[in-house]
Structure 1
Amino acid sequence: MAETQAPWTQPMPEAQFAQMRDILAAPSPIGLEGAMTYGVLKPYFESVARPGWHVHQFTGHAGIVLDSHPGETDRFTVMVVGHADKIRMQVRSIGDDGKIWINSDSFMPTTLIGHEVAIFSENPDAPGDYRRIEGGTVEAVGAIHFADQAVRSGEKGIKKEQLYVELQIHGENKKQQVENLGVRPGDSILLNRPIRHGFSPDTFYGAYLDNGLGCFVTAEAARLTAEAGAPEKVRTLFAIASYEEIGRMGSRVLAGELKPDALIAVDVNHDYAAAPGIGDRKPNPLKMSEGFTLSVGSIASEQLNAVIESEARAHDIPMQRDVCGADTGTDGMAGVLGAVDCAATSIGMPIRNMHTISESGHTGDVLAATHGVAKAIQALDRRDDGNGKLRREFRNNHPRLDRAEPLQHQGGEKPKDESE
C-alpha cells in the first residue's frame, strides 16, 4: 500500500475526530457505562451494521456486542473488545463546612488538585434518575499557605484522605446546601475535560483516553469490516465491556456468554520511551506516533499474533511489540479469567500520563490499531472455509519449540532498507 493511501500516515479527518471525542466524553463511570454504550456506541453500531447483524444487550451490566452472525455458534468466532468504564471518584462524606470529601480511586491524589469535575447526583426522590453538577474543583489543602512545610517543599505528597470537592458553598447551613442538591455518599465524580487537538501534529489530549480509545477502535473496526463486505465465514463480535478497571469483570462475562474462539482486546498502553524515571527498568521503548502495540507474553496466542503481525506488514501498518509477561493488564485476559478456551491477545495505543486529566495520544496510532484489527478480521475470514477449517488450524498448529531450527551467527551488517 502506498504511503499516500495509508490513513495512519494522514491527519485524522475532523468528522472522525469528533466521533472519537463524543465517545471519550460520554460520562461512563464504572457501573454506569450506559452513556457511552447506549448513548453513543449502540446508535453508531446500528448505523454501520450490515443487514442481519444484531446488537446484544445484557441484564446485569450495560455492555453491548455487535454480532455479525447472531446465534451461529458453529462458525469460528472472533471477539474484539474495548471497555467503556472510566475510573471514577466517589463522594465519601459531606462536611459541616460544605466540603464534599471524596476518594481518589485509581488516580494519584496529587494529579487531581485544582481540576474541574462533574458530580452525578442520584435523585433521592426518584432513584435511578441522575443530575449533573458542574463548577466544582478537587482540592486538598486549600492554599500553599496552609500546607505543612514538607508538602510545600515537595518532600511529602497529598494523601488521598485529604481530597475534597470545592463547590464554593458559603453562607448558613453549608452542609444542608450540599444535601439539598441530593449529593450523597457513593455519588460518582468524573474529571471534566473533553479531548482536544494537541500542540504537536496529529496529537490530542484530555481525560479518559483509557479506554474510550479502545471503544472507538472497536467501533471503527466494525465500520471498516462492514464496508469491506466482511465477514462472510467468520462470526465477529464487536464488544464494549464494563468493569475492566476493577478486574476485567465485564469482558469475562461477555466471553462466557458468547464463547469466542479468538479474542482481541483493544486498550491503551504506555509510551515507555517518554515516561520519566523508569529508564533503569529497561522496558521495551514503546513510543507514541510509531504504531499500535501487540502483546507478547504468557497468555498471548502466537497464532493469533502471527495473523495480526502478517497483516500489519502486508499493509505497512506500523506495529510495536509489547512484552506483557503473565498478564496483559487488559480485557485480553477475559477468556482465561472466564474459563473460556480461546486464542487471545491485546492491541494497544501508546499514550502518556495515563490516569490523569491530561492523557495524550497520537491519531496515527489510533488509526493504525483500527486498520490492524480490521485487516486481521478480513484475513481470518479468508482463511476459513466455513467447515471448521480455522478451528482445526488453531487447535493443530500450536508453535513447537522442539522443532526450532538451529541458527548461526548472522554478522553485524544491517539489513538493507527495501525503500532505498
Structure 2
Amino acid sequence: MSDTQKPWNSPMPEPQFNLMRRILAAPSPVGLEAAMTYGVLKPHFEGFAPASWQLHQFKGHAGVVLDTHPGRDDLFKVMIIGHADKIRMQVRSIGEDGKIWINSDSFLPNVVIGHEVTLFSEDPEAPGSYRRIQGGTVEALGAIHFSEPAQRNGDKGIKKEQLYLELQIHGENKKQQVENLGVRPGDSILLDRPIRHGFSPDTFYGAYLDNGLGCFVTAEVARLIAEAGGTEQVRVMFAIASYEEIGRFGSRVLAGELEPDAIIAVDVNHDYVAAPGIGDRRMQPLEMGKGFTMSVGAIASEQLNRIIETTARKHDIPMQRDIVGVDTGTDGMAGVLAAVDCVATSIGFPIRNMHTISETGYTRDVLAAIHAITQTVQALDALPDPHREFLDHHPRLDQAGPLAHRGGDKPEKTVK
C-alpha cells in the first residue's frame, strides 16, 4: 500500500466527516445518552452489520454493544469502548427574578459564559417526554460594569455558583414564567456549538469531541471489520458506554455483563505541546497531528500494547506513547473495576481545549486510530491461539538482557 493509499495520510472523506459530525451532534448528556446510541449509532450499525451480528441493549442505561459472535464465549472476546455521555450543565434552582441558576459540571465556569445553550426539559405533565428550549445564554456577572476590580484585571475568577441561564424573561412574575415553561431542577443544558472544519487543513473544532469521537472510531472499526468479512477466532464487541464522565460506571457494567478477554478504550487525549503553561511541567510531548496515542502504565497490558505497536509499525500508522500513571482516566479501567480478568489499554487522539466549547482535533489522528485498532483486531484474529498468547507471554523483567551498545553508538536513532 502506497502512502497515498493509506487513509491516515489523506484528508477525511466528506461523507465520513459528516457521519462524525452527526454522532458528535447527538444531544446525549450523562444519563440521557439514547440520542446518540439509539438515535444515531443503532441505525448506523444496522445499516452495515451482517445478519449474524447482534446488538445488545441494556435496562439500566442506554449503552449498546454490537457483537460479532453472540453467545460464542469460547472465542477470544475483544471489547472496543467509546462513551456516549457528554458533560452537561444542570438547572439548580429558579430565582424570583427569572434567573435559572445552574451547575457547571465539568466545565470551568469562565469558559461557558456568554455561550448559547439548549435546555432539555422533561414535561411535568408527561413524564418521559422532553422539550428543548433554545435562545438562552450562560451568564455570571451580567456586565463588566457590575464586576469587582479584581475580576476586571484577572486576579479573581468566576465562581461556579455565579452561573445562571439567561432566557431574557421580563415583566411580572418572572419566576412563575420560567416555571410555566416546565423548567425544573435537574434539567440538562448543553452548549450549542456544532462541529465545523477548522482553518488549518484537516482540523475540526466544536463542543463535545469528548467523547463522541471515541464512539465514531468504534463505529468505523465495526464497519471496516464487517466489510473485511468479519473475524474467525475473535469475538469483537463494539461497545458504546454511558456514565464515563461520572466515574466510568457504564463500561464497568458492560464488562461485568459480557466478560471480555481484552478491552481497548477509545477516548480523547491532550495535546500537551500546545497546552498553555504545561510544557515546563515536563509532560509527555503528545501533539495533535502526530498520530494516535497508546496508554502505557496503570492497568495497560504490555502484551496488548506490544501487538498494537507492532501492528502500527508494520502498516506505518503514526503512534505516540502516553504515560498514564495509576489510572488510564478512560473506560480502559472497566475490566478491573468490574473484577473481570482481561488485558486492556486505551487508544486516543490529542485534542486541544478539552471540556470547552472549542475542542479542536485533527482528522488524520482519528483515522490513524481507526485503522490501528482495525489492524490490531485482525492481528489478534491471526494468532494461533489468542487465549494462550496472553496467558503464557507476560513480560519477564528477570529475563531482560544487557544492552549490546552505548547510547552514543546510535546517535541517529530517536526513541519515541
- TM-score relative to the length of structure 1: 0.97
The CA distance in 2 between the partners of 1:229 and 1:302, in whole Å, is 29
Q: Secondary structure at the match of 1:411?
A: helix
Asked if 1:194 corresponds to 2:190, the answer is no
Residue 400 of structure 2 is matched in structure 1 by 404
Q: Structure 2 matches for 1:237-256, cutoff 5 A?
A: 237-256=237-256
Deviation at 1:183, TM superposition (A): 0.3
1:383 counterpart SS class: coil
- How far off is 1:223 after superposition? 0.4
Q: In the aligned structure 2, how far is the partner of 1:295 from the partner of 1:350?
A: 12
Cα separation, 2, equivalents of 1:258 and 1:367: 28
Aligned equivalents of 2:11 and 2:169: distance in 1? 45
Question: Distance in 2 between the 1:296 and 1:154 partners?
Answer: 38
CA distance in 2, matches of 1:56, 1:87: 25
Aligned equivalents of 2:122, 2:335: Cα separation in 1: 35
Residue of structure 2 in register with 1:19 after alignment = 19
CA–CA distance in 2 between the matches of 1:182 and 1:197? 36
Contact 1:267 / 1:349 at 8 angstroms: preserved in 2? yes
- The residue type paired with residue 405 of structure 1 is G
Q: Which residue of 1 aligns with 2:8?
A: 8
**Is it true that 1:184 corresponds to 2:180 in the alignment?**
no
Matched, 1:135 2:131: no
Listed as ranges, the matches of 1:146-185 within 5 Å are 146-185=146-185
Q: In 1, Cα distance between the equivalents of 2:411 and 2:167?
A: 61
Gaps of 5+ in 1: none
Alignment deviations for residues 246-302 of structure 1 (CA, whole Å, 9 cap, x no partner): 110000100000000000000000000000001221011000011000000031001
Determine the structure 2 residue equivalent to 1:34: 34
| Structure 1 residue 111, shift from structure 2 partner | 0.5
Amino acid at match of 1:312: A
Once residues 415 and 282 of structure 1 are traced to their aligned partners in structure 2, the CA distance between those partners, rounded to angstroms, is: 23
Task: Give the equivalent residue in structure 2 for 1:382.
Answer: 382
Cα distance in 2 between the residues matched to 1:251 and 1:128 = 25
Is the CA contact 1:202–1:364 (under 8 Å) kept in the aligned structure 2? yes
How big is the shift at 1:65? 0.1
Percent sequence identity is: 74
Separation in 2 of the partners of 1:319 and 1:48? 29
Q: Give the Cα separation in 2 of the matches to 1:350 and 1:237.
A: 25
Deviation at 1:416, TM superposition (A): 7.3
Distance 1:238 1:126 in 2: 34
Where does residue 83 of structure 1 map in the other structure?
83
Q: Which residue does the alignment assign to 1:360?
A: 360
- Cα distance in 2 between the residues matched to 1:86 and 1:313: 33
Count of paired positions:
413
Q: Pick closer, same or farther for the CA change 1:174–1:77 going to 2, 3 Å.
A: same
Provide the C-alpha distance between the structure 1 equivalents of 2:89 and 2:245, rounded to a whole number of angstroms. Answer: 13
**Does the 8 Å CA contact 1:140/1:162 hold for their aligned counterparts?**
yes
Root mean square deviation, CA, Å: 1.0
- For residues 274 and 407 of structure 2, what CA distance do their matches in structure 1 show? 32
**Per-residue CA distance 1:108-131 (angstroms, 9 max, x = gap):** 001011011000000000001000
Distance (whole Å) between structure 2 residues aligned to residue 252 and residue 124 of structure 1: 32
Q: 1:294, 1:319 within 8 Å by CA — same for their partners in 2? A: yes
Question: TM-score, length-normalised on structure 2?
Answer: 0.98
